Amino acid sequence: MKLSTIFAAILGAAIAGGGTAYYYQQNPSTQQQTAFTVLPLDTTKAGEINSTSLVNLSNGVRSVPFTLTAEAGQFYKIAVTGALRAQISVLQNGLLIASSTTAKNNCDECSNSSTAVAPAMLAFKAETAGKYDVVVSGLDSNAYGPFSVTATPLKTYVGSVVKAGMDITEIAMGRQQEFKLEVDEKAIYTIDMKADQGRLDPYLSLLDQNGRELVSDDDGGDNYDAKIQTYLEPGTYTIQTSSAVGADTFQGTYRLIIAKEALTSDITLESGATLHADGAKQTGLYNGQAQEFTFELPETMLVSLDVNALGFDPDVMVDGASINYQRRGQYTLRAVLEAGTHSITIDGSQGGIYDLALSASSVPANAGGGAIRVGDTRQAVMLSGVTRINYTLDITQAGNYVIDMASPVFDTSLSLHQNGYTLAENDDIDYSNGNTNSRIEMELEPGRYQIQAMALSEGSRNRDYSVAVKRK
């Protein structure tokens, strides 16, 4: 058997065996290695897996080997791109040091095509100086095609200072890693943690100078990547990187990208303020503490609230009920609210800047809202652009009550609240049979309740609906 065939057969066993085998025959007659293509650092080398490539006789996987000269203690990243569905192995003196496989459609670089091939990535540490064999193989016996391979030395910043504007690649070695983040000006900071290797599930935490966690994230980025966006004051913070499924699985390479967006508006809105419904835009800061505001209505009015958030996706609530966002970071409420004091709350898991504008106008005839009594059936219209109407219900006698909302032209939804808590919700009475009206039936104690009657789509015209309350 020729040396190249012997090498290929045992090489395949080493790759398949996870480092438990040698890929050179351990006797003098086979110690001479065939000449492999040199893989210079930071230089892309082209190759191709075809029918003449070295073959593993046990499973038919074919390989192309390269030689890399490495420095002791240095980390290296090997990347293979192209049409080949590839895996990478690194060996020294015939022993498998590291190996990695890849999968389809699991990367930013891949297209949306079902046949797109993700790059294969592998990072390893050269414990000793010398020559290492970098072997590019097909993922299986049917994997053929051209490829490009690049070896890049990694400069580690673990334990060192990082700043906005940096885009670094790090290697995880089975334990949590920390970086010191220096912030030189107040701004919105974005920290992206992107996995190069599919077996790494990124998890990010940001700590203040006292070691207190400010914010953390698992899947806020693309795919299963992690992403933090938050407002930061000047100072030194700690970024912690790990795996969402445990630090012991935190192995492979990842990118850490830090960016900032300078503030363009002064902070004019502070938590606890009483708002005026005059339509004026004000800017507020959310930094981990719920922002609470109130506003007064002298009579039942049509209220418009617009909140635009930068750097985070907040939870925006009016009178304890959440507002659905129109698009990311943009929240709009058009609702008929009764006379009295109302609350707006802005909260969330991350921090940032937001603009808020509140206005109120007279309610058109038959727009609904206000007080509703047990036994009443209110016929009203959901105004153009309005998606919810609030009603106040006073219960004087404990019992079982039924609240119905019906419309011939839109899909309804009901929710019942008390003291800022959601007690019950219902979308469809019987969706499978086409009944998209809503009903809440529950035991109620004496007290004041809020009914929120909603349309699940925004209409371009006024639409009829009814709300009814009865005691069973």
How many domains does the chain divide into?
4
Residue 356, CA distances (Å) to 206, 231, 281, 313, 408 in order: 27, 17, 6, 14, 34
Residue at a domain's end among 307, 338, 362: 362
Q: Are residues 56 and 172 in the same domain?
A: no
Q: Are residues 150 and 166 in the same domain?
A: no
Instruction: Report yes or no on 462 lying in a domain.
Output: yes
Q: Which amino acid is present at 466? A: S
* pLDDT score for 291: 92
Return d(Cα 222, Cα 122) in angstroms, integer.
Answer: 21
Instruction: Report yes or no on 229 lying in a domain.
Output: yes
Higher pLDDT among residues 238 and 196, named by residue: 238
Are residues 53 and 4 in contact, defined by beta-carbon separation less than 8 angstroms?
Answer: no
Q: Of 67, 54, 68, 66, which is closest to residue 12 (Cα–Cα)?
A: 54
Q: Are residues 148 and 167 in the same domain?
A: no
Instruction: Report yes or no on 54 lying in a domain.
Output: yes
Instruction: Report yes or no on 395 lying in a domain.
Output: yes
Q: Are residues 358 and 404 in the same domain?
A: no
Q: Are residues 309 and 400 in the same domain?
A: no
Domain of 166 in residue numbering reads as 161-262
Mean pLDDT of all residues belonging to the chain: 84
Q: Are residues 71 and 139 in the same domain?
A: yes
Q: Are residues 255 and 356 in the same domain?
A: no
Instruction: Report yes or no on 186 lying in a domain.
Output: yes
Q: Is residue 55's pLDDT more than 80? A: yes
* pLDDT score for 195: 86
Query: Using one digit for the tens of pLDDT, what is the confidence trace for 66-84?
Result: 999 999 989 898 989 999 9
Q: Which amino acid is present at 33? A: Q
- Torsion region of 462: left, alpha or beta (phi above 0 gives left; psi -120 to 50 gives alpha): beta
Instruction: Report yes or no on 295 lying in a domain.
Output: yes
Instruction: Report yes or no on 271 lying in a domain.
Output: no
Question: What value does the CA radius of gyration of the chain take, rounded to a whole number of Å?
Answer: 31
Residue at a domain's end among 317, 338, 362: 362
- Taking the whole predicted model, whether its pTM rises above 0.85 is answered as no
Q: Are residues 149 and 169 in the same domain?
A: no
Q: Are residues 293 and 252 in the same domain?
A: no
Q: Are residues 347 and 294 in the same domain?
A: yes
CATH number of the domain that 75 lies in? 2.60.120.380
Q: What is the mean pLDDT of residues 264-286?
A: 90
Q: Are residues 315 and 196 in the same domain?
A: no
Residue at a domain's end among 208, 229, 262: 262
Q: Is residue 232's pLDDT more than 80? A: yes
* pLDDT score for 453: 92
| Neighbour-count burial for 445-458, b at 16+ CB within 10 Å, e otherwise | eeeebbbbbbbeee
pLDDT tier, 11 (very low <50, low <70, confident <90, very high otherwise): low
Q: Is residue 198's pLDDT more than 60? A: no
Instruction: Report yes or no on 246 lying in a domain.
Output: yes
* pLDDT score for 6: 41
Return d(Cα 112, Cα 106) in angstroms, integer.
Answer: 10
Q: Is residue 155's pLDDT more than 70? A: yes
Q: Are residues 380 and 349 in the same domain?
A: no
pLDDT tier, 355 (very low <50, low <70, confident <90, very high otherwise): very high
Query: Using one digit for the tens of pLDDT, what is the confidence trace for 378-435?
Result: 999 988 878 888 899 999 999 999 999 999 999 999 999 998 789 999 999 988 888 9
Return d(Cα 429, Cα 200) in angstroms, integer.
Answer: 44
